[in-house]
Structures are given as C-alpha cells and as structure tokens.
Structure 1
C-alpha cells in the first residue's frame, strides 16, 4: 500500500493522475495547490512503526463483514456551509490549584500531550520549580520552550465532593489559558467527557461528576458548583 502511495505521489509531481479543473464548481487538487503527503515521512516523525508486510483487507464478498444498519445523525446543522467548526472551540472547567477555595478556569485539551501552566500563575502559587530538558510547546497560539515544571494537586469540584489529582505542569510564559489540562492527566485519570450533559466523569475518583463548559463564542460564563445538585 505504501509503495502504491509513493507511486501516486511521484505521478502527481509529474503532472500525472491529477484531477482536471471541475466544471461543477467544486475545487480540484490543482486549483488548491495541494502537495502530496509522503506518509512514511509523517510516520517517521511520529515514531510509528510502518510495516512493509502490510496486506490490504480482502475484497472477497464471502470474507467481508456483514453490512450493518445505518443510524443517521439527528443533529441539524446550525451554521452556513464551511463554518461548522466555529460552533465548537474548546472545553473548560473550574478547578482549584493547590486548594478547593482558590478557583480558576482551566482548559481541557485532548489534543495536548502534557499539562501546562502560566509561569506567573505558578510563581503566585509559591511552588518549587523543577528543571527539565527543554520541551517545545506549540499549537497554543504561539511557540514556546518550557524548561521547568511544578508539581501540585488540582481539585475538581463536584456538587457533593471534590476530586483531588496530582499533576505535573510545565511552565509557559504568557499562557492565556493560565492552566491547560492535557492528555497526560485526562488519559491517565480516565476522564470521560459527556458533551451533551456538559459533564465530566473522573474514573480514578469514583466517577465524580464535574460540570464543564463548551466554548462556542468569546463569552462563556462558568458557575462554580455548590452543595446542591445541578
């Protein structure tokens, strides 16, 4: 499969097998100027093992899995074509770094491999700094190089109790989110997101339910949970 893909990439570079300009108004690859992606190179960067012995699935009708009934999404599109991505930006919740009572809004980012914290916030919490090998941090609006981290407990407050989770957060200067919870915590602790119910369940803490907010615009109001259930 990879060999065939390389051949298609080389053909596209020579101008072969490239779709011509469409007459139905749909942009073609030529119009968009896409460069072919060399997947082996991408896999190398991600340190993934690509086996040359890969065998494509059989197309024999007798060996194909049975066709399953289709369940159509019941969610209507609420935006103009091409603008659907603007309705979902990021998730956040109210947490207490080092204490249940000093609260701030933290971003929940399933696309970030590590938890990061604003350097000024870390200093204000009077936490000891630990030096580490510089780690490049990108995808948060700008590029940073983090060479220190702090260790502390984060409290996620529910309606009747609070989850206490130890974290290591790498320092980043001028971080707008102040505290960004990454997959190193969300995956390890078994975070389960329910976007419809606007709730987060933490498997490692007896499935405590924590309210979350979905940011679809510039203004989202958080309400810290109280003793009553919401």
Structure 2
C-alpha cells in the first residue's frame, strides 16, 4: 500500500513501523519508499524499549522483539535521511553516526507513552537536532485513551538550531511545512561544533564502516 501511494503521488514515504518476521526473529521495522514506489531502505529498530517505573509503566520489548544490527541511512529525492524508531532517539551515538554519514534529516517514527512523553519527547528531538545541527522529524500515533498502550502524540519537526518548526497536539493531524537544508551549513558555520570537537580526547567509531574496510 505504501509503495503504491509513493508511486502514484511521486513522493518519498517513511512508513512508520510494523512487525516483521524473519525466520524465528520478530523485528520492529520501518520501510522507506521512493517516489518510484521502490523500497529504498529498511530499518530494524536497534534499541529495544525495556522500562520499569513502579506505579507508572512496565514494558519490555526484548521479551518479543529482536534488536536490529545496522544503522539505516537512505538517499531520497528529499535528501539523505537517517532512520530510527522510537527508543532509538535516546541514543546520541546513532544520531552522530548519521550526521557523520551526511544526513540532512533524522526521522523517528515513535510512540512515547504518557510517562516519558511529556518529559522527554520534545526534549530528545531538540537535543538530537541541536547536537548534530540537522533537522529532526518525528511521527507519533494519535492518542487512544482506550488502548492498552496510550501514545503521547505530538508529531514534530525540529530545525538544526533546536528550534521547533511545527508540531501537533495528540489528536489526528497533518503537519505541512517546508525545510531549507542550507540552514544546516549556516548553523554549522555560526557554531562550528564539528571543528571544535576534541578528537584527541574522544571519538565516535563507525563500526560498520570500520569492518567493511
């Protein structure tokens, strides 16, 4: 269905996430389709969400799901996109790796809950955008209070200075906005974090690239 919509409307679709069975493993998977309807990338959630806050929420993805093993970066008609799913957004190392590989936009379909959502959902998006000086987009399910798992909602688009460009509330909604990738270079020239990093003291190692060399 997503492939057909992408082809008919000639758009790029980052298609949320679905359960994907591969042999004995079950993954939480996000598929990216290009304007020609072809599958351009598939991200299997790398970090599994296990949480236990007594009286608030207990949820353990690791009981059911298998963790993905590879970061996913996709070249599309709308730029180079690094893909994460929900809990992946908490890990700055993944976002840094995507930035180092030239991503313009990080896209995280996710469903933060009513405990962590109010505290961390926007905070983490703005942090990933500001830390890496690129755009971050998130898409959440609308809130269904009758569900066993209630999503916080608040799909959002954040700019490379950590500014919220557009956001929704918790109801069903469509956000339409334009982003200008030239702002990435502007912000990086305004505040040259990459040049100021102390590579003599700390360094991010891209294991996937290291192993392929």
Normalising by structure 2, we get a TM-score of 0.27
Pick 1 or 2: higher relative contact order, CA cutoff 8 A, min separation 6: 1
What TM-score does the superposition give when structure 1 sets the normalisation length?
0.26
